[in-house]
């Protein structure tokens, strides 16, 4: 397999390159060392038509100006940390409040706007790009000097995997995610796209989408995607829920069940193109995001963001998100594409 490297632009004197990985099945993935972004995924359907599977910008300036984390690796901490603060080892840390009253997706120094170092590796059955980044103690208010590596690999089985590892010299909360906006369908809206999420609960949240600490059963609510279901079927069902009405769509953390590594945590299928994507992850939560589905100006895409639970640094009952100096953060996200 081969990797084509081309110049995509420059940020503050740093070169931004596009890395295009291609397998023998005509699947291509283009990555940027700006934000660790997935710029493009093209996958052939059963008719041989190349389907553009993520939203993209044609220029680097589009990504620089983009406020929506499109395609990027998000960190140091994905999602919200309540009121921009948490306490660790009897010390209170104050973070950027860039999401209303909360810290969102790592704050103003988020990794989605940084230029990462990159190295490539090719073999007969896979192609990989490893992005690396250092973040200093106190950046964005977070403790610890950390180093992060994010390795994307495309193989001949039409799988794109992302392995993120990190180390720190001080105990610190870490949670990285991939924020691609998926478009398996050619339709302008995502209502007819089918979705399954292997979760029986979501984290309940207040009007600012900050978790209350409680878990909500998805049964008989718009959040029930325990079987493959059209998104609009849940969005338009009678008997809505205040948590859904707060968004008018989906922006909620699903509590993933523990399954074998060969069982997907989520499945997305577009009936018009015949393309299916299975998502596998080692992380405990999955943010399903469509934004509002009640407005005419819709995203036309969906996000599935594997993550630690939002506000986990302030919620001891949530899965542990803290990493100590003698430990290594390592989590995986894998997307497997197929067509019929």
- 49 catalytic per annotation: no
Question: End-to-end alpha-carbon separation of the chain, Å?
Answer: 24
Cα separation, 65 vs 40, in Å, equals 18
Q: Residue 168 belongs to what H/E stretch? A: strand 159-168
User: Mean pLDDT, to the nearest integer, of 192-210?
Assistant: 97
User: Model confidence over 31-78: pLDDT tens digits?
Assistant: 999 999 999 999 999 999 999 999 999 999 999 999 999 999 999 999
Annotated binding site for beta-D-galactose: 79-80, 179-181, 251
- With beta carbons less than 8 A apart as the criterion, state whether 75 and 179 touch: no
User: Mean pLDDT, to the nearest integer, of 134-151?
Assistant: 98
- 112 catalytic per annotation: no
Q: Where are the domains of the chain?
A: 2-339
* DSSP secondary structure of 95-152: ----BTTBEETTGGG-GGGSBPEEEEEE-SSEEEEEEEEEE-TTGGG--S-EEEEEEE
pLDDT value of position 260: 76
User: Phi first, then psi: what are they for 281, rounded to 5°?
Assistant: -155, 155
Cα separation, 94 vs 138, in Å, equals 10
Predicted confidence (pLDDT) at residue 299 exceeds the cutoff of 90: no
Q: What sign results for the dihedral spanned by CA atoms 175, 180, 181, 184?
A: negative
pLDDT value of position 104: 97
Cα separation, 322 vs 192, in Å, equals 39
CATH domain 2-339 topology: Beta-galactosidase; Chain A, domain 5 (2.70.98)
Task: Return all residues near 115 (Cβ < 8 A) that are at least 6 apart.
Answer: 11, 12, 14, 15, 16, 33, 34
Cα separation, 260 vs 265, in Å, equals 10
Predicted confidence (pLDDT) at residue 92 exceeds the cutoff of 80: yes
User: Model confidence over 98-107: pLDDT tens digits?
Assistant: 999 999 999 9
Cα separation, 168 vs 213, in Å, equals 27
pTM (predicted TM-score):
0.97
Predicted confidence (pLDDT) at residue 179 exceeds the cutoff of 90: yes
pLDDT value of position 240: 78
Share of the chain above pLDDT 70, in %: 100
How many other CB atoms are there within 10 angstroms of residue 6's CB atom? Answer: 9
Annotated binding site: 79-80, 179-181, 251
Query: Chain-wide mean pLDDT for the chain?
Result: 96
Q: Which of the following is catalytic: 102, 105, 112, 179?
A: 179
User: Mean pLDDT, to the nearest integer, of 202-218?
Assistant: 97
Nearest residue to 56 (alpha-carbon basis) of 74, 79, 19, 31? 31
pLDDT value of position 131: 98
Q: Which of the following is catalytic: 112, 305, 308, 331?
A: 305
Share of the chain above pLDDT 90, in %: 94
Predicted confidence (pLDDT) at residue 261 exceeds the cutoff of 90: no
């Amino acid at each position: 397999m081969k990797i084509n490297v081309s110049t995509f632009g420059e940020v503050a004197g740093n070169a931004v390159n596009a890395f295009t990985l291609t397998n023998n099945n005509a699947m291509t993935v283009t990555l940027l060392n700006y934000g660790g972004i997935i710029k493009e995924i093209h996958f052939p359907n059963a008719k041989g038509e190349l389907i553009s599977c993520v939203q993209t910008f044609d220029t680097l300036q589009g990504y620089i100006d983009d406020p929506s984390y499109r395609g990027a690796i998000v960190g140091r901490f994905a999602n919200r940390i309540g009121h921009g603060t948490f306490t660790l080892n009897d010390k209170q840390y104050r973070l950027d409040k860039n999401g209303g009253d909360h810290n969102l997706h790592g704050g103003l120094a988020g990794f989605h706007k940084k230029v990462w170092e990159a190295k490539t590796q090719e073999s007969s059955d896979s192609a990989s790009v490893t992005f690396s980044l250092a973040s200093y103690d106190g950046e964005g208010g977070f403790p610890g000097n950390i180093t992060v590596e994010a390795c994307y690999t495309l193989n001949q089985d039409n799988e794109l995997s992302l392995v993120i590892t990190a180390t720190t010299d001080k105990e610190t909360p870490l949670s990285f995610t991939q924020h691609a906006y998926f478009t398996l369908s050619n339709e302008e809206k995502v209502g007819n796209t089918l979705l399954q999420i292997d979760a029986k609960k979501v984290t309940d949240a207040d009007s600012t989408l900050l978790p209350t600490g409680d878990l909500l059963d998805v049964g008989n609510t718009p959040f029930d995607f325990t079987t493959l279901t059209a998104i609009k079927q849940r969005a338009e069902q009678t008997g809505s829920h205040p948590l859904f009405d707060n968004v008018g769509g989906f922006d909620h953390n699903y509590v993933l069940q523990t399954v074998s590594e060969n069982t997907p945590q989520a499945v997305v299928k577009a009936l018009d193109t015949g393309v299916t994507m299975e998502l596998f992850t080692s992380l405990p939560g999955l943010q399903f995001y469509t934004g509002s589905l009640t407005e005419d100006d819709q995203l036309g895409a969906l996000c599935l963001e594997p993550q630690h639970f939002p506000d986990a640094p302030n919620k001891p009952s949530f899965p542990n998100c803290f990493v100590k100096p003698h430990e290594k953060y390592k989590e995986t996200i894998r997307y497997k594409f197929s067509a019929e």
